[in-house]
Amino acid sequence: MTSTSRLDSLTAGGTNGVFDGIRLADGHMLTLNTRPGAAVAGEVFLYPGLTAPDTEAWQNRDDLEEWLTGGDAGGAPTYLDVPIDAVRELIVQHGGEHENQEPPVPSSGPEAEGDARFPGLLARIADLRGRFEDGYSAEGIRSVFGRIYDEGGPYLVCVWEYADAYGFGGHSQFYAEDQHGALYEVQPVIHQWLAGQEETPGPADGWVCAPADATELPVSDDWHNYARTDRTG
């Protein structure tokens, strides 16, 4: 029987009012927001490339969230009130859970300049320009930043003002994160490009700047979002 120990753990303990992630054996990813012991996940977000089965369990798409992200989250919708058993079945269909459940992190920071991953990156992510023209949500951050990393870019994160029972909110700022969890400032042109204000984000090997001031970030979804203040209690 295929193990779903990560899902079982999240189901038992809940996700503290925010999304938490599961990497599947074939490389796909999903995140979910669920309460301790619940038989139904309140929200399930499928990363680009992961398709929900055509069953009743996956019929309740979050149309409001898709509207807030401009109707285009990279083909990655959020589903509401999905039975945990349906999530488990989807995981099993993709070979179970990946043996490594740590979030992907790059070698970012000054030493990453000239990284061989960067040639051709801008051409591969050119369609992301303007994706945040009407603002962004935590789900939009996961989709866009996940795409940038998957295409060979640095591991970008968004640090929000707070996280509460409804998710992440308040003022936010973009950073890059290295394999040790350290944050680095990034060029503001990245945000401007994603907002459609600039034609290009500039050379990718110049995106990552100086180390950011160390600060406590008590909330994380493990997939590109942090919060400075925890209001979930």
Gap between the Cα atoms of 139 and 120, Å rounded = 26
**With 90 as the cut, is the pLDDT of residue 220 above it?**
yes
Range of lowest pLDDT (19-23, 125-129, 138-142, 219-223):
19-23
Rg over alpha carbons for the chain, rounded to the nearest Å, is 17
- Out of 53-67, 162-176, 201-215, the most confident range is 162-176
Q: What is the model's pLDDT at position 150?
A: 87
Query: Please, what is the angle between helix 84-93 and helix 5-13, to 10°?
Result: 160
**With 90 as the cut, is the pLDDT of residue 57 above it?**
yes
For the chain, what is the mean pLDDT?
84
Range of lowest pLDDT (18-22, 110-114, 123-127, 202-206):
110-114
Contact predicate 91/18, CB 8 Å = no
CA-based end-to-end distance of the chain: 36
Q: What is the model's pLDDT at position 116?
A: 47
Residue 127: both structure tokens together: 């369609």
Give the global pTM: 0.56
Selection from 162, 16, 8, 169 nearest residue 92 by Cα: 8
Other CB atoms within 10 Å distance of the CB of residue 181? 10
